[in-house]
Structure 1
Amino acid sequence: MTEADGAAGEGALVLFSGGQDSTTCLAWALDRYKRVETLGFDYGQRHRVELDCRATLRTEIARIRPDWASRLGEDHTLLLPELGRLSETALTSDIAIEMAESGLPNTFVPGRNIVFLTFAAALAYRRGLKRIVGGMCETDYSGYPDCRDDAIKALQVALNLGMERRFVLETPLMWLDKAATWGLALDLGGPSLVDLIVEATHTCYLGERGERHDWGYGCGTCPACELRAAGYRRFVAEAV
Structure 2
Amino acid sequence: MSVSFCAAVLTELNRPLTVETVQAPPLAAGQVLVKLAYSGVCHSQVMEARGGRGPDRYLPHMLGHEGSGVVVETGAGVTKVKRGDRVILGWIKGQGADTQGVRYASGERVINAGAVTTFNEYAVVAENRVTLLPAGLPMDVAVLFGCALPVGSGIVINIAKPQPGATLAIFGLGGIGLAALMACKLFACKQVIAVDVEPAKLKMAAELGATSVIDASRSDPVEEIRKPTGGPGVDYA
Relative to its length, the structure with more strand (as a share) is 2
Does the alignment reach a TM-score above 0.5?
no
Q: TM-score range by the shorter chain?
A: under 0.3
Bigger radius of gyration among the two: 2
In the superposition, the TM-score normalised over structure 1's length comes to 0.26
Relative to its length, the structure with more helix (as a share) is 1
In the superposition, the TM-score normalised over structure 2's length comes to 0.26
RCO greater where, 1 or 2, for CA within 8 Å and sep 6 or more? 1
